[in-house]
């Protein structure tokens, strides 16, 4: 199944050149909001400006660390912004860490379970028409830092999940919409974090 979600590029539809490299999450938010509530959300530039204002305010009040806003709009701010446009939203991490007897941080015995539940949750949310913005490692796109993409569907063959469809806002020429990524490749890049919109 693949949802008919509008596509935007952070390099084409964001007019402020200073913001283009950091506008992936705001571009994903715009796509999600326009799918859920057409014409309710402002432009990506206006969303980014709003996100910067919220980030600054939350940092000044001690609700965000200074470094949280260095690479774009923090996930907590994205959730707040989605709420501001009438979309139920929350962020979730599917990680599980433990501390060893020597004091090292290691994966807990439930790390695999958390990851599996994350994959199931993403599929369940997509089935209801909710859109997950997921954080991915460098290499999935052309950028050299963490990035976000919008999942718009998934593929199942013989009862087994084979992969996801996604919109990648990191496009300078040809739209990177409805791209299929195998589950194996998704597992390689997904940072186990998602913002569910809707």
Cα separation of 42 and 52, whole Å?
15
pLDDT in tens, the chain (198 residues): 999 999 999 999 989 888 888 889 999 999 999 999 998 999 999 998 999 888 888 777 776 665 554 557 889 999 999 999 999 999 999 998 888 888 888 888 898 899 999 999 999 999 999 999 999 999 888 767 899 999 999 999 999 999 999 999 998 888 899 999 999 999 999 999 999 999
Count CB neighbours of 82 within 10 A.
Answer: 24
C-alpha–C-alpha distance, residues 142 and 35, integer Å: 25
CA R_g for the chain? 17
- Under 8 Å between Cβ of 122 and 133: no
Axis crossing angle, helix 44-60 with helix 24-36, rounded to the nearest 10: 120
139: left (phi over 0), alpha (psi -120 to 50) or beta: left
Q: How far apart are CA 58 and CA 39, in angstroms?
A: 28
| Model-wide pTM > 0.95 | no
Residue ranges and CATH numbers for the domains of the chain are: 17-197 (3.90.70)
């Amino acid at each position: 199944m693949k949802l008919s979600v509008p596509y935007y590029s952070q390099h084409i539809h964001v007019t402020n050149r200073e913001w283009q490299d950091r506008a992936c999450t705001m571009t994903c938010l715009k796509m999600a909001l326009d799918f859920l509530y057409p014409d309710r959300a402002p432009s990506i530039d206006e969303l980014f400006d709003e996100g910067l204002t919220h980030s600054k305010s939350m940092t000044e009040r001690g609700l965000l660390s200074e470094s949280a806003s260095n690479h774009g709009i923090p996930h907590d701010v994205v959730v707040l912004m989605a709420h501001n446009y009438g979309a139920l939203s929350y962020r979730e991490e599917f990680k599980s860490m433990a501390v060893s007897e020597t004091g090292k941080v290691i994966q807990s015995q439930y790390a695999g379970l958390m990851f599996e539940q994350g994959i199931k949750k993403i599929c369940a949310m997509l089935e209801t028409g909710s859109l997950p913005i997921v954080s991915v490692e460098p290499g999935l796109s052309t950028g050299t830092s963490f990035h976000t993409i919008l999942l718009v569907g998934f593929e199942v063959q013989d009862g087994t999940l084979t992969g996801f469809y996604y919109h990648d806002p990191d496009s300078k020429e040809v739209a990177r919409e409805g791209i299929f990524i195998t589950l194996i490749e998704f597992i390689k890049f997904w940072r186990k974090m998602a913002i569910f919109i809707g």
